[in-house]
Amino acid sequence: MKRLALVLAAAAFALPSAAQGAACSPLNCAASQFTIGQYGSLLGFRAAIGKPVTVVDLETGKTRWVLPAGLTGGSLLVHQDGRALAWYDASRGTRLATITLPDVEYSLAGVSQDGTRAVLTRVSPNGTRFLVASRHAQRLFTLAGKQWSFDALRGDNLFLIKYLALGGYQVRLVHVGTGRLDPKPLKDPHESSTIWGSPFSRLSSADGRYLFTLYLGPNGGSMIHVLDLQAATARCVDLPGTGNYGSATTWTLALSRDQSKLWAVSPGYGRVVAIDVPSRKVSDAFRIDLPYWNVGNTTSAALAPDGRHIALGNGEAVAVVGLAERKVVQRDKAHAVALGYSPAGRLWQLS
């Protein structure tokens, strides 16, 4: 987190658009996309976090179904409507079950990596109440204070963000079975436990073990927070480029099919970085040339099944980076809001 060691008010976490020159974070309101099913045969995408999810068959490029707005994990989507909490199978387009919440004031904050459990929060005079609910059981506990928000859930490990009074925030671990909060924050052994900057996008490994969160600093510096949800450890990987927040907002992430390599690409900075997931270290990096890339739009990415190309889109253009050639091999005008490769390697531009 060396590049992000500049003070940024914690309010910028809750309101990414308030950061200096910030675009709207994909965690809240920008377009997002995610693969569904074995080998990513389906692609889900939405215009914003509160919008319906369109599911497309990557074999044919045709829409299969549209699901209500919600949070996704694995092949499941969880939707809240007042006291009703519903689970949908995004791979089939069907509703699986609906449960009734104890209080309408509980708000859906996140879901487990496999989507089977939902985490809901409610701020009370005694602190922040957390309700971890599945289709078959519910677990309720309270943490002192009102400075908590959801980060991730896998197994018994519930990861939370704790905002600090003097700015910045920490990643904390709670054990769902007991409601016990570990006394120390999770941190990179070589870095401070306090994170500065705004979370801009995130990506999970298909097996649910790793969560990669891209953080942007107000000076245009960037880093990836690698959270191992199984081992409950965290590492930070700094990305190249600084001095231009708009260029920093073009960073986008893609994960190889075998989950061993994470690609980070920034058309704005003209950088491509490969990160070895097991070691959490940069294994390769090179420059690309994408002039006049609109930095005002979020950049989406799709990695070809053979791992040889990464497609990039910003709603105005689509570019393809050849990883072996280490350069841009194709660029076209296109108004695609999402990108996806078919299992056979055909690139679909979806709108």
pLDDT of res. 296: 80
- Report the pLDDT value the prediction gives residue 1, as an integer from 0 to 100: 44
Provide the residue range defining the domain that includes 36.
2-350
State the pLDDT confidence band at 38, using cuts at 50, 70 and 90. Answer: low
Q: The domain that contains 81 carries what CATH number?
A: 2.130.10.10
Q: Give the residue from 152, 279, 146 showing the smallest Cα distance to 203.
A: 152
Annotate 138-173 with DSSP letters as a single string.
EEEEEESSS-EEEEEEETTEEEEEEE-TTS-EEEEE
Residue 273, φ and ψ in degrees, nearest 5: -130, 135
Give the integer Cα–Cα distance in Å for 5 and 248.
16
Query: What is the distance in angstroms between the CA of the first residue and the CA of the last residue of the chain?
Result: 36
Domain count, the chain: 1
- Distance, CA of 33 to CA of 46 (rounded, Å): 7
**Average pLDDT in the 288-292 region?**
95
345 secondary structure, DSSP code: S
For the beta carbon of residue 101, count every other beta carbon within 10 angstroms. 20
**More confident site: 322 or 126:** 322
| Residues 235-260 pLDDT 10s | 989 999 999 999 999 999 999 999 99
Sign of CA dihedral 209, 339, 246, 238: positive
Tokens 């000076």 found at: 219
- What per-residue string of b and e applies to 107-132 under the rule 16 or more CB within 10 Å gives b? ebbbbbbebbbbbbbbeeeeebbbbb
The answer to whether the CB of 267 falls within 8 A of the CB of 288 is yes
C-alpha pair distances (Å), 174 with each of 130, 159, 211, 246, 327: 11, 6, 17, 35, 44
Determine the pLDDT at residue 28: 53
User: SS3 of 40, please?
Assistant: helix
Closest CA to 165 of 194, 131, 134: 194
H/E run at residue 246: helix 245-248
| CA–CA separation, 293 and 183 (whole Å) | 45
What is the model's pLDDT at position 192? 76
pLDDT in tens, 118-145: 999 999 888 999 999 999 999 999 999 9
Query: With b meaning 16 or more CB within 10 Å and e meaning fewer, what string describes 179-215?
Result: eebeeebbbbeebebebbbbbbbbbbbbebbbbbbbb
What CA–CA distance (Å, rounded) separates 149 from 348? 36
Task: For residue 20, name the pLDDT band (cuts at 50, 70, 90).
Answer: very low
Residues in contact with 176: Cβ distance below 8 Å, sequence separation at least 6, in sequence order: 132, 139, 153, 156, 157, 158
Contact 339, 347 (CB under 8 A): yes
* 346 DSSP 8-state letter: P
Is the four-CA dihedral 113, 74, 97, 44 of positive or negative sign? Answer: positive
pLDDT tens, 150-195?
999 999 999 999 988 887 888 999 999 999 999 999 887 777 777 7
310: which 2 tokens? 């990464």
